[in-house]
A and B are shown apart, each in its own frame.
Chain A
């Protein structure tokens, strides 16, 4: 079946830098998107969500951008800290309410 962001790329950043993690979603009609953070040995943890009627949403140190033209979602983390090291993955909810998850991106923050 269709998948969100099949590959598991890695991103290494210096502490204090900004991080940008990208996700290509599969269904242009999907209407709800979530970013999750998964630390080693733990379950996924909600970070931020966005609905398709928005193109940007901000949280504390995190911003999600939605580009519906190219089915692209990004997560920006400001002033990245060592505690941000984790796998980040996106999820999309399709019109039939099926949720699809990406494999994720591994973020490593160097002190």
Chain B
């Protein structure tokens, strides 16, 4: 089944404790992206990757890092999480970019205390 998977689905952590949210897609898509979704706001892009070893900042990259060592994986790293990073995070992938249909993962709900 073609899908985007994320882990963990739920995470409660404390300020400053490094964490990684994994994202994997099995559709051989070149483009992958991370978004955060906050109440009353649309999805906001954190980082995206056009291909392996190519990553770029989105609209809200501060406090986040990503890597794209393999085509299928695009982990999101919070080196020192803060309470304002409490949010619902979605990973997405598409064949070539934002002009293609993006397929979203199930989401990761992160709470930073």
Q: Enumerate chain A interface residues (CB-CB to B < 8 A).
A: 1, 3-8, 31-32, 34, 36, 41-46, 49, 89, 91, 93, 97-104
Contacts and interface: CB of A to CB of B under 8 A. Distances in A.
Given A1-B59, A97-B99, A44 B42 contact: no
B45 interface: yes
Given A41-B106, A42-B106, A44-B43, 17 more contacts: A4-B42, A6-B40, A7-B40, A31-B99, A34-B101, A34-B102, A36-B104, A41-B107, A42-B107, A46-B101, A46-B102, A49-B101, A89-B43, A101-B42, A101-B44, A102-B42, A103-B41
Contacts of A6: 40-42
Contact of A98 (B41, B98, B107): B98
B101 A97 contact: no
Contacts of A44: 43, 90, 104
Closest 7 CB pairs of A and B: A43-B104, A101-B42, A101-B43, A99-B98, A44-B104, A46-B101, A103-B42
Contact of A5 (B42, B59, B101): B42
Contacts of B64: none
A99 B107 contact: no
A45 to B, nearest CB: 7
A78 B30 CA distance: 35
Interface of B is mostly: loop
Nearest to A47: B101
A103 B39 CA distance: 8
Given A49-B101, A97-B98, A43 B106 contact: yes
A49 B101 CA distance: 8
Contacts of B66: none
B97 A97 contact: yes
Contact of A3 (B42, B97, B98): B42
